[in-house]
Amino acid sequence: MRAWYLVDLGLMPYDDCWALQLQFVEKKVAKEEPRDIVLMVEHEPVVTVGRRGDLGGLKVSEDILRRMGIALRAVERGGLLTYHGPGQLVVYPIVNLRSNGLNVMEYVNGLEEVMIRTLARFGLKGCRNSMNRGVWVGGRKIGSLGIAVRRGITFHGLALNVDMDLRPFGLMEPCGLKGVEMTSMAAELGKGVDIGDVKREIVKDLDEVFGVKVHLDRTPWKEMEGAD
């Protein structure tokens, strides 16, 4: 069984995590990093714009975002505008697709399946939407995904709304969808949800869906810290 190594970064600014992803990707492309790495993180408030996106879906000015303490970043993942903030669990697998016997479509389907299974563990029925990627509960979007692939190495990944302030989503058209309602596990369950509990369950679902064994390992992160 192939091993994936999980690095739990806690709460981290988007730029720091983005730079860390790119460092791991470069090392894997250069065959200097044989391990498949999974970064798990909550981001400080940020709006990200994917490759197909622009600021047309933003309902407020960049200046207003700055005054609200929300960063704005254009990134290389697929998809359009989305928001990340505390209480949202973001998972970035940096893995070799070929070594894991996956093509891009199988991988994307797998990320959706991971979120669906994790939601089920908490009593929520998540489903796919044939027209829009991500995971939905009762017509409301609860999980998003956007990936990038460089020479067969994946980065970026999935974002599951656990127990977060959903109001910033109202500043944009999330994922380019007009009138979409965003939701969270806490909102659907009507009670608080411990993100630590969700992390433990999502690891089990990564194992099951991708046929791997996810190991908690701080070593890769410490090595990258030392590299600076």
Q: pTM of the prediction? A: 0.92
**Residue bearing the bigger pLDDT, 193 or 55:** 193
* The token pair that represents 120 in the structure block: 């089920």
Catalytic machinery residues: 175
| Highest-pLDDT range among 55-69, 82-96, 121-135 | 82-96
pLDDT for res 184: 98
pLDDT for res 223: 62
* The token pair that represents 24 in the structure block: 């791991």
pLDDT for res 227: 47
Torsion (CA) 215, 219, 220, 224 in degrees, nearest 10: 160
Sheet containing 212-216: give its strands across. 127-129, 132-137, 140-150, 153-161, 88-94, 36-43, 2-12, 212-216
For residue 201, give the CATH number of its domain.
3.30.930.10
Token look-up 């199988």 returns 106
Q: How far apart are the C-alpha atoms of 173 and 170, rounded to whole Å?
A: 7
105 φ, ψ to 5°?
-65, -40
pLDDT for res 219: 65
Q: How far apart are the C-alpha atoms of 214 and 5, rounded to whole Å?
A: 6
pLDDT for res 62: 87
* Residue numbers of the domain that contains 99: 2-227
pLDDT for res 90: 98
Give the number of C-alpha atoms closer than 13 A to the C-alpha of residue 224, restricted to the C-beta side: 21
Mean pLDDT over all residues of the chain? 91
Which tens digits make up the pLDDT trace of 100-146? 999 999 999 999 999 999 999 999 999 998 778 899 999 999 999 99
Which tens digits make up the pLDDT trace of 166-219? 999 988 876 656 678 999 999 999 999 999 999 999 999 999 999 999 998 766
- Looking at the structure of the chain, the number of domains it has is 1
pLDDT for res 25: 96
pLDDT for res 228: 43
Signed CA dihedral, 226, 36, 163, 191: sign only: negative
pLDDT for res 221: 60
Give strand pairing partners of 65.
none
Mean pLDDT confidence for 142-169 = 96
Q: Which of 41-45, 50-54, 166-170 has the lowest mean pLDDT?
A: 50-54
- Closest residue by Cα to residue 14 from 44, 50, 39, 40: 44
Mean pLDDT confidence for 44-54 = 82
